[in-house]
Amino acid sequence: MTALLANSRKVQFSGKHKDVVANAHFRLIILLLVFLGAFTVIAGRLASFAILEDAQPSRTTSAVLVPARGDIVDRNGVALARTIRGYAIRVIPARLLGDKATLSRQLAAIFPDTSEADFLATLTSERPTYLRRRAMPDEVKQVHALGEIGIEFPREDERLYPQRDLAAHILGFVNADGEGVMGMERALNESLTQKSLRATPATLSIDSRVQAALESELNSAMISTEARGAAGIILDVKTGEVMALASLPVFDPNKLRKDTIRFQTNEVTQSVFELGSTFKPFTIAAALDAGTVTDLAVRYNAMEPIKVAGFTIKDDHSQGRYLNVPETLVHSSNIVTARIADNLGKERMEDMIRRLGFDERPHIELAERGHPIWPKRWGRVTNMTIAYGHGIAVTPLHLASAYAALVNGGIWRPATLLKVAPGEEAQGRRVFKAATSARMRQLLRMIVSSGTGRKADAPGFRIGGKTGSAEKPSNGGYNKTSLVSTFAAAFPMDNPHYVIITMLDEPQGTAETSFQRTAGWTAAPIVHKVVSRVGPMLGVVPDEHRDVDVSELTPLLWSPKG
Amino acid sequence: MNDIPAKNTTPDSLPDSGQVLPKKRFQLNSRLGRSDRTPLAIWFWELDRVLLGLILTLVAIGLIAVAAASPATTLKQSTAAVTIEPLYYFYRQLGWVIVGIPIMLVVSMLPKEQARRLAIMGAVAAIILLFLVPIFGKTVNGAQRWIGYSFATVQPGEFLKPFYAVSVAWLLSLRVKDPSLPVISLSVVLTGIIAILLLMQPNLGQTIIFCGIWFAMMMVSGLSARLIAAVGVGGVGGLLGAYFFYPVATLRINSWLFGGGEFDQVMFAHKALTGGGLLGTGPGLGTAKFNLPEAHTDYIFSVIGEEFGLLACIAIALVYLAIIVRVFLRLLDEEDNFIILAVTGLTAQFGGQALINMAVNLQLFPSKGMTLPFVSYGGSSALALFCGIGLLLAFTRRNPYLDRSHYISAWPEKGRIAV
């Protein structure tokens, strides 16, 4: 009985048990579906973050590897512009706890260049404002020590020019939104900000050591001659690479101020000048090329000024005699140059000037390029004045590119601020015959060794060049006392590698220049100093036993006996 | 089938000269092999090794994640005088893992009855400790959850979770044996007491987990659909009640619903989670993680999102899901009512905690003090989890041959015919 009872109970139990287990399995599947649903929601949310909100690795983290804006370096990899994580100081007035007057007094003590009243106005305004867009860690520390929770210190990308004002006109600067607004920052804006390109720095053609030497020599000359400004450029004649380009006074792209805005004009590429006698070698070269001058010994009348159509052309330092071609350049005779240009004819003269690129903006990456002032009518008189550099205004960069063509064998190339790999220089176009170029090297060297450019000579560097002292136009005429003194040179003259242009805007005669304002006394000595400093950096070894052979031309220079 | 006896006879049939080497090989083959009859080997073959593999994967992910999150927390905790080493929490977590894995394995070796006994005793001990918390407990971050001295400081609530699940499963399974027992009322009372003790700490997150475990087990134990709906409504009502009458919940839910402004932790978590894109910034390169509160515990999922990307987050969610699916599917051919309930409870605890933590990180849920199982840093929580998973492994152990389907036994027929 008991056994039967036990047995029946067991059967009953097991039946119930089966029921319970089956129900449990059904509920388990429901629970599993609930979990599946919940995890689908989680995965869906993650996917929506990835797709709909377009989650990207944040800028701050990618800056560790790739800067927000690419670096700019010089040809040797020296950093000229970098992007760093800087501090800004920002105030959220609604969150300020302390007394605003006290706070503005404390801030004014930390930043003496802003008044207490200005700070108070900022602190009492409604909206969050920047107190400083860029702040030094030290300043941040001091402000932080004020203990105000309404002031925060966001880290922001900051464009830093570690060489300060060096090459400021080449580099330019960026605006608050990080867009390049001047110089190479503007010209290269696209590639500097493009994600795929900005990891590798943009390499400029300039050499920061050469740039520094050029800037320092121009600056000391500008100060000693009390000039309004100065400009200079050093150009590789074979590739068109700009090794240095300086426009003075300078500004600091790290700290743009109202009072330095006018210095932001790039005098080398933006401002146009009548460059005067530096044009004479072009006229002579064109005449040699065209065959209108075949014999350098032929003499031209320089006894008295030429009068053409009511216009008088005269020499500043009249020799009062007939001059041959070498003497014309050595003594910088306007009269003879005008006669040679007249013989050449205006078509051929204009053709040469156009082929040298003087009729368009200079060729360089920068956006700041000035348009030359081209004569309205190219008549006979214009032709004769342009021969000695009046009646046409071009930028110093135009002149540098043209001088490169003059001495490098006759090939004109556009200038570039980007480093050119060997063998990849621009095609260029022939302007002068190679023979003419060789002759011009001798003539330019003679101007420095025994002419108006003597003060440019640096022993062993075989410098050749031409002075140019142009009177500045004013009130419809020319002002005799305000000059633009230019010296256009190349070195080493036996195998020219670099062209160097130095220019002073309105130099004053001082004791140092024997009270002379002309280029031979003001601009030429800068070339001497700069070349002595930068020659070895540029791979030009001073050698007093080498020079271009001018022995066939030396006898043509007449010198008084005694 | 035929070559197994052949293998066994190999050593005997070999000539004497080569006897030493093959014997050695035989021993190596047999270690944990199917012919090994040692308790260790039996345990190994009974164990759900896929589940163990998934758990160890999570532990490994957790170590990497804690290493990534540790600097963010130590930097916050360092003061001018005391600098905490950046990887402090990583080394601690490594220590917990080294202690926890053996605990998990030992617990998983227990026979089912012993495991059950351990859990019930553990539950009693933990509830006693929980009662002592309001009296002797330590207060950290405004919540009194800890008890003990120096290294022996524990959160009884954490340990109670797995033991509670097993104990309630045992209670509910008694119903089948004797329907007259008031097991449901008993479990309600037990859960209610625990909930009150936890809310006093205050610890709303844990309370929700306990209620969730209870609800999952009630569901599987066969509560009628109408009652389930009633409990569900009651749960929503409870949450609403918490929102209106429980200040901690009001605060958290408000900041979730209305956004806590620019510098709220919800915003920081979102910035970190999406800061790495699909593939992440790379280990150690995250920056948004430094803004996170509790980067190494509650918001570790966001740290993973920043440094390893959203794809890694999805992968981690899938590992949790895989564990849950694996356990549940295995339960579908389990007959023992207690085991079904206990495993359901343990899984609900594990999965629920993971879900809530991820949902909080993804702003799908108001923020809770809830760790991501095995990934977040935590002493008590890690040990309790290892214990709980040890129990889970113990209960899911089974003789692979015992319940083999009769469909499979048909296969050797062919072989026999061929011979």
Dihedral (C-alpha) A314, A318, A321, A327: value to the nearest 10 degrees?
-100
Listed in sequence order, the residues at least 6 apart from A390 whose beta carbon sits closer than 8 Å to its beta carbon are A274, A276, A470
Residue B269 or A3, more confident? B269
User: What's the pLDDT at A54?
Assistant: 62
Helix (H) or strand (E) holding B167: helix B156-177
The distance of Cα A377 from the centroid of its chain, to the nearest Å, equals: 33
Q: How far is CA A265 from CA A172, A370, A476, in A?
A: 10, 10, 24
The verdict on A561 touching B (C-beta cutoff 8 Å) is no
Residue B356 to residue B366: CA distance in whole angstroms: 9
Listed in sequence order, the residues at least 6 apart from A208 whose beta carbon sits closer than 8 Å to its beta carbon are A74, A76, A78, A80, A163, A166, A167
Instruction: Give the Cβ contact number of residue B244 at 10 Å.
Output: 10
**Closest approach of chain B CAs to the CA of A546, in angstroms?**
60
* DSSP of A387-419: TTT-S-BB-HHHHHHHHHHHHTTSEE---BSB-
The closest of B138, B123, B122, B120 to B193, measured between CA atoms, is B123
> Residue A42, SS3?
helix
Residue B108 to residue B388: CA distance in whole angstroms: 9
**Closest approach of chain A CAs to the CA of B122, in angstroms?**
26
ipTM: 0.85
> Residue B354, SS3?
helix
Helix (H) or strand (E) holding B30: helix B20-30
Type of residue at A380: R
Residue in B222, B358, B364 closest to A23 by CB: B222
User: Contact at 8 Å (CB) between B159 and B204?
Assistant: no
Residue B254 has pLDDT above 80, yes or no: no
- Facing residues of B141 across strands? none
Asked if residue A492 has a cis previous peptide bond (ω within 30° of 0), the answer is yes
User: What's the pLDDT at B2?
Assistant: 44
Note the CATH architecture for domain A213-556.
3-Layer(aba) Sandwich (3.40)
Contact at CB, A55 and B321, closer than 8 angstroms: no
Residue B23 has pLDDT above 60, yes or no: no
Residue B362 has pLDDT above 70, yes or no: yes
Give the residue numbers of A annotated as catalytic, written as ranges: 277
Mean pLDDT (chain A) is: 88
pLDDT digit string (tens) for B210-226?
A: 999 999 998 888 877 88
In chain B, where are the structural domains located? 48-395
Task: Classify strands A202-203 and A72-73 as parallel, antiparallel or unpaired.
Answer: parallel
| Both structure tokens of A457 | 């000579």
pLDDT digit string (tens) for B99-137?
A: 999 999 999 999 989 999 999 999 999 999 888 888 887
Q: Please, what sign has the CA dihedral across residues B166, B171, B174, B179? A: negative
Residue B124 or A517, more confident? B124
User: Contact at 8 Å (CB) between B145 and B126?
Assistant: no
Residue A4 to residue A74: CA distance in whole angstroms: 104
Confidence class for position B32, pLDDT limits 50, 70, 90: low
| Both structure tokens of A190 | 């696209």
In chain A, where are the structural domains located? 213-556
Give the orientation angle of helix B3-13 with respect to helix B20-30, to 10 degrees: 150
Residue B127 to residue A140: CA distance in whole angstroms: 53
pTM greater than 0.95 (yes/no): no
Residues in chain B: 419
User: What's the pLDDT at B296?
Assistant: 87
User: Which ranges constitute the DSSP H helices of A52-188?
Assistant: 59-62, 100-110, 116-124, 137-144, 168-171, 183-187
Contact at CB, A39 and B219, closer than 8 angstroms: no
User: What's the pLDDT at A4?
Assistant: 45
Residue A385 to residue A469: CA distance in whole angstroms: 14
Residue B315 to residue B328: CA distance in whole angstroms: 20
User: What's the pLDDT at A135?
Assistant: 86
Give the orientation angle of helix B300-331 with respect to helix B337-361, to 10 degrees: 160
Residue B256 has pLDDT above 80, yes or no: no
Residue A474 or A280, more confident? A280
The closest of A296, A287, A279 to A433, measured between CA atoms, is A287
Residue B151 or A180, more confident? A180
Residue A507 to residue A477: CA distance in whole angstroms: 19
Q: Please, what sign has the CA dihedral across residues A426, A429, A433, A439? A: negative
Residue A114 to residue A134: CA distance in whole angstroms: 14
| Average of per-residue pLDDT across B275-281 | 84
* DSSP of A480-495: EEEEEEEEEEEE-TTS
Instruction: Give the Cβ contact number of residue B144 at 10 Å.
Output: 17
User: What's the pLDDT at B5?
Assistant: 45
Listed in sequence order, the residues at least 6 apart from A129 whose beta carbon sits closer than 8 Å to its beta carbon are A90, A91, A93, A122
Contacts of B344 in chain A (CB under 8 A): 28, 31
Residue B170 to residue A286: CA distance in whole angstroms: 111
User: Contact at 8 Å (CB) between A283 and A346?
Assistant: no
| Both structure tokens of A555 | 């006898």
Tokens 């794809």, residue located: B311
Please work out, in degrees rounded to the nearest 5, the angle formed at the alpha carbon of residue B97 by the alpha carbons of B92 and B101: 160
Q: How far is CA B308 from CA B53, B186, B311, B318, in A?
A: 22, 46, 8, 15
Chain A residue with minimal CA distance to B301? A46
The closest of B349, B356, B406, B319 to B119, measured between CA atoms, is B349
Q: Please, what sign has the CA dihedral across residues B182, B184, B185, B191? A: positive
> Where does residue A52 rank: exposed (0-12), middle (13-18), buried (19+ CB within 10 A)?
exposed
**Closest approach of chain B CAs to the CA of A56, in angstroms?**
4
| Both structure tokens of B275 | 């800061």
User: What's the pLDDT at A406?
Assistant: 94
| Average of per-residue pLDDT across A255-280 | 90
3-state secondary structure A254-275: CCCCHHHHHHHCCCCCCCCECC
Lowest-confidence segment of A197-206, B24-33, B251-260, B266-275 by average pLDDT: B24-33
Residue B220 to residue B236: CA distance in whole angstroms: 20
The verdict on A26 touching B (C-beta cutoff 8 Å) is no
Contact at CB, A24 and B341, closer than 8 angstroms: yes
Residue A239 has pLDDT above 90, yes or no: yes
CB pairs under 8 A between A and B: 120
Contact at CB, A55 and B276, closer than 8 angstroms: yes
| Mutation choice for A interface testing from B218, B219, B228 by most A CBs within 10 A | B219
The verdict on A58 touching B (C-beta cutoff 8 Å) is yes
| Mutation choice for A interface testing from B358, B361, B372, B396 by most A CBs within 10 A | B358
Contact at CB, A42 and B348, closer than 8 angstroms: no
| Average of per-residue pLDDT across A214-223 | 94
Residue B205 or A489, more confident? A489
The verdict on B273 touching A (C-beta cutoff 8 Å) is yes
